[in-house]
Amino acid sequence: MAVTLSQIDSDRLILYSRAGCCLCEGLEQKLRALNLEQLKRPLRLVVIDIDAPGCSPALKARYDMQVPVLAVEGTELPRVSPRLSGDGLFRWLQRVCDSATGSD
Protein backbone atom coordinates (compact mmCIF):
# COMPACT_ATOMS: atom_id res chain seq x y z
CA MET A 1 0.00 0.00 0.00
CA ALA A 2 1.41 3.39 -1.00
CA VAL A 3 1.71 6.06 1.68
CA THR A 4 0.57 9.48 0.57
CA LEU A 5 1.79 12.80 1.92
CA SER A 6 -1.63 13.43 3.48
CA GLN A 7 -1.33 10.16 5.45
CA ILE A 8 2.07 11.20 6.76
CA ASP A 9 0.94 14.71 7.69
CA SER A 10 -2.32 13.75 9.37
CA ASP A 11 -2.58 13.26 13.11
CA ARG A 12 -3.44 9.90 14.56
CA LEU A 13 -6.75 9.19 16.26
CA ILE A 14 -5.87 6.17 18.38
CA LEU A 15 -8.57 3.73 19.38
CA TYR A 16 -7.42 1.46 22.20
CA SER A 17 -9.54 -1.63 21.72
CA ARG A 18 -9.78 -5.39 22.04
CA ALA A 19 -11.13 -8.07 19.75
CA GLY A 20 -14.53 -9.39 20.77
CA CYS A 21 -15.57 -6.22 22.61
CA CYS A 22 -18.89 -5.11 21.12
CA LEU A 23 -18.39 -1.47 22.21
CA CYS A 24 -14.89 -1.39 20.71
CA GLU A 25 -15.94 -2.99 17.45
CA GLY A 26 -19.01 -0.78 17.17
CA LEU A 27 -17.00 2.40 17.70
CA GLU A 28 -14.36 1.28 15.21
CA GLN A 29 -17.05 0.67 12.56
CA LYS A 30 -18.59 4.08 13.16
CA LEU A 31 -15.21 5.83 12.99
CA ARG A 32 -14.23 4.00 9.79
CA ALA A 33 -17.52 5.17 8.22
CA LEU A 34 -16.55 8.82 8.84
CA ASN A 35 -14.27 10.86 6.60
CA LEU A 36 -11.82 11.84 9.33
CA GLU A 37 -9.74 13.83 6.85
CA GLN A 38 -12.64 16.31 6.63
CA LEU A 39 -12.19 17.40 10.24
CA LYS A 40 -10.64 20.85 10.77
CA ARG A 41 -7.54 18.94 11.79
CA PRO A 42 -7.45 15.80 9.61
CA LEU A 43 -7.09 12.55 11.51
CA ARG A 44 -6.07 9.03 10.60
CA LEU A 45 -7.58 6.18 12.63
CA VAL A 46 -5.11 3.78 14.25
CA VAL A 47 -6.54 0.85 16.20
CA ILE A 48 -4.42 -0.71 18.93
CA ASP A 49 -5.60 -4.07 20.25
CA ILE A 50 -4.39 -4.12 23.83
CA ASP A 51 -4.52 -7.93 23.86
CA ALA A 52 -2.40 -8.37 20.72
CA PRO A 53 1.00 -10.03 20.99
CA GLY A 54 3.63 -7.33 21.19
CA CYS A 55 1.37 -4.77 22.85
CA SER A 56 3.14 -3.39 25.87
CA PRO A 57 2.04 -4.69 29.27
CA ALA A 58 1.78 -1.05 30.40
CA LEU A 59 -0.85 -0.30 27.73
CA LYS A 60 -2.80 -3.43 28.62
CA ALA A 61 -2.70 -2.56 32.32
CA ARG A 62 -3.76 1.04 31.66
CA TYR A 63 -6.69 0.30 29.35
CA ASP A 64 -7.69 -3.24 30.36
CA MET A 65 -10.97 -2.25 32.02
CA GLN A 66 -11.44 1.02 30.11
CA VAL A 67 -11.69 0.12 26.40
CA PRO A 68 -12.76 1.57 24.08
CA VAL A 69 -10.59 4.65 24.63
CA LEU A 70 -9.83 7.35 22.05
CA ALA A 71 -6.73 9.54 22.14
CA VAL A 72 -5.20 12.27 19.97
CA GLU A 73 -1.61 13.43 20.41
CA GLY A 74 -1.32 11.39 23.60
CA THR A 75 -4.37 13.09 25.10
CA GLU A 76 -7.24 10.79 26.03
CA LEU A 77 -10.60 12.04 24.81
CA PRO A 78 -13.74 11.91 26.94
CA ARG A 79 -15.73 8.69 26.66
CA VAL A 80 -17.98 8.80 23.62
CA SER A 81 -21.62 7.75 23.87
CA PRO A 82 -22.25 4.47 22.03
CA ARG A 83 -25.45 6.05 20.72
CA LEU A 84 -23.56 8.65 18.66
CA SER A 85 -23.02 7.87 14.99
CA GLY A 86 -22.76 9.64 11.67
CA ASP A 87 -22.92 13.44 11.81
CA GLY A 88 -23.35 13.45 15.59
CA LEU A 89 -20.15 11.46 16.10
CA PHE A 90 -18.32 13.67 13.59
CA ARG A 91 -19.40 16.87 15.39
CA TRP A 92 -18.52 15.39 18.79
CA LEU A 93 -15.09 14.39 17.52
CA GLN A 94 -14.49 17.86 16.05
CA ARG A 95 -15.47 19.51 19.33
CA VAL A 96 -13.41 17.30 21.65
CA CYS A 97 -10.37 17.36 19.36
CA ASP A 98 -10.49 21.16 19.28
CA SER A 99 -10.64 21.20 23.10
CA ALA A 100 -7.95 18.54 23.55
CA THR A 101 -5.45 20.23 21.25
CA GLY A 102 -6.22 23.81 22.22
CA SER A 103 -7.67 24.84 18.84
CA ASP A 104 -10.35 27.47 18.59
Structural domain containing residue 79: 10-101
Residue 78 lies in a domain: yes
Instruction: Give the per-residue pLDDT at 43.
Output: 93
Characterize the bridge pairing of strands 69-72 and 11-17: antiparallel
- State phi, psi for 24 to the nearest 5 degrees: -65, -50
Q: How far apart are the first and last CA of the chain?
A: 35
Domain count, the chain: 1
DSSP-based helix, strand, coil % in the chain, nearest 5: 40, 20, 40
Answer whether residue 5 is part of any domain. Answer: no
Q: What is the CATH number of the domain that holds 27?
A: 3.40.30.10
Q: What is the pLDDT of residues 28-70, one digit of tens each?
A: 999 999 999 999 989 999 999 999 999 999 999 999 999 999 9
Full-model pTM: 0.84
Beta bridge partners of 76: 71
Residue 2 maps to a domain: no
